Amino acid sequence: MNPTTRPRPYPARRTVLRTAVTASLAAPLLGACVTSGEAGGGAAEGAAKTADNPLGVKADAPLEVVVFKGGYGDEYAIRAESRYTRQYPRARIDHKGLQRVGEAMQPRFVAGDPPDVVDNTGAGRLDVATLVGAGQLGDLGDLLDAPALDQPGKRVRDTLLPGVVDDGTFGGRVVTLNFTYTVWGLWYSKPFFAERGWAYPKTWAEMLTLCAAIRKAGVAPWTYQGKYPEYLNDPLLAVAAKTGGPDLIRAVDNLTPNAWRQPGLTQAATVFAELAGRGYLMAGSEALSHTEAQAAWCQRRAAFLPCGSWLESEQKGVAPAGFDMVMGAVPAAGPGDRLPVTAVQAAGSESFLVPAKAKNPAGGREYLRMLFARESARAFAEANSTLPAVAGATDGLRLGSALGSVRDAVTAAGANTFTYRFRTWYAPLAKAVDDATGELVNRRISPADWSTRIQKAADALARDTSVRKYTR
Partner 1 sequence: MGHGRWRFLFAALVPALVLHVVFVLSPYAQAFYLSLTDWTGVAGQAHFVGVDNYARLGVDPLFLDAVRNNAIMLLVVPAATIGLGLFLASMLHRGGRGLRGGSAYQIVYFFPQLLSLVIVAVLWGFVYNPNTGLLNSGLRAIGLGALAHSWLAEPRFALAAVMAVLVWSSVGFYVVLFRAAIDGIPGELFEAARLDGAGGWSSFRHVTLPLVRENVQVAFVYLGIAALDGFAVVQVMTVGPGGPDGATEVVGLSLYRTAFSYGKFGYASAMGVALFFATLTLAILALRTGRRERPATRGGQA
Q: At closest approach, how far in Å is the CB of 26 from partner 1?
A: 5
Spatial distance between the Cα atoms of 298 and 191, rounded to a whole number of angstroms:
12
CA–CA separation, 115 vs 106, rounded Å?
11
- Phi and psi at residue 30, to the nearest 5°: -70, -40
DSSP string, 303-332: EEEEEETTHHHHTTTTSPTT--EEEEPPPB
The distance of closest approach from Cβ of residue 57 to partner 1 in the complex, given in angstroms and rounded to an integer, is: 26
Residue 24 beta carbon to partner 1: minimum distance, rounded to whole angstroms? 7
What is the distance in angstroms between the CA of the first residue and the CA of the last residue of the chain? 75
Which is closer to partner 1, CB of 128 or CB of 241? 128
For 137, counting Cβ atoms within 10 Å of its Cβ (0-12 exposed, 13-18 middle, 19+ buried), the class is: buried
* C-alpha–C-alpha distance, residues 377 and 121, integer Å: 18
Q: Which letter does DSSP use for residue 350 in this model?
A: E
Q: Which is nearer to partner 1, 412 or 427 (CB)?
A: 427
Site residues (CB under 8 A) for partner 1?
A: 1, 3, 9-11, 16, 23-24, 26-28, 30-31, 33-39, 102, 106, 109-112, 124, 126-127, 129-131, 133-136, 226-229, 283-284, 286-289, 292, 296, 427-428, 431, 434-436, 438-439, 442, 444, 466
Closest distance to partner 1 from the beta carbon of 343 (Å)? 29
Closer CB to partner 1, residue 237 or residue 436?
A: 436
Q: How far is the CB of 244 from partner 1 (least distance, A)?
A: 26
**Residue 355 contacts residue 41 (beta carbons within 8 Å):** no
Which residue in 137, 206, 149, 147 sits closest to 174, CA to CA?
Answer: 137
Kindly state the smallest distance separating residue 247's Cβ from partner 1, in Å. 28
**Closer to partner 1 by Cβ: residue 66 or 339:** 66
Where b means 16+ CB within 10 Å and e means fewer, 414-451 reads eebbbbbbbbbbbeebbebbbebbbbbbeeebebeebb
Rounded least distance, CB 16 to partner 1, Å: 8
For residues 286 and 312, which CB has a smaller minimum distance to partner 1 in the complex? 286
Beta carbon nearer to partner 1, 107 or 334: 107
Q: How far is Cα 272 from Cα 343, in angstroms, rounded to an integer?
A: 19
**What count of Cα atoms within 13 Å lies in the side-chain half-sphere of residue 194?**
8
Q: How far apart are CA 194 and CA 196, in angstroms?
A: 5
> Measured from the CB of residue 148, what is the shortest distance to partner 1 in angstroms?
31
What is the Cα–Cα distance from 422 to 419, expressed in whole angstroms?
9
Cβ-based nearer residue to partner 1, 412 or 430: 430
In the bound state with partner 1, the residue whose beta carbon lies nearer, of 2 and 411, is 2
Report how far residue 185's alpha carbon sits from residue 155's, in angstroms, rounded to the nearest whole number.
30
Contact present, 304 and 379 (Cβ < 8 Å): no
Compare residues 411 and 466 and give the one whose CB is closer to partner 1.
466
Shortest distance, position 37 Cβ to partner 1, whole Å: 4
* Secondary structure class of 353 (helix, strand, coil): strand
* Closer residue to partner 1 (CB): 106 or 151: 106
Q: Minimal distance in Å, beta carbon 390 to partner 1?
A: 29
**DSSP code per residue over 204-221:** HHHHHHHHHHHHHTTSEE
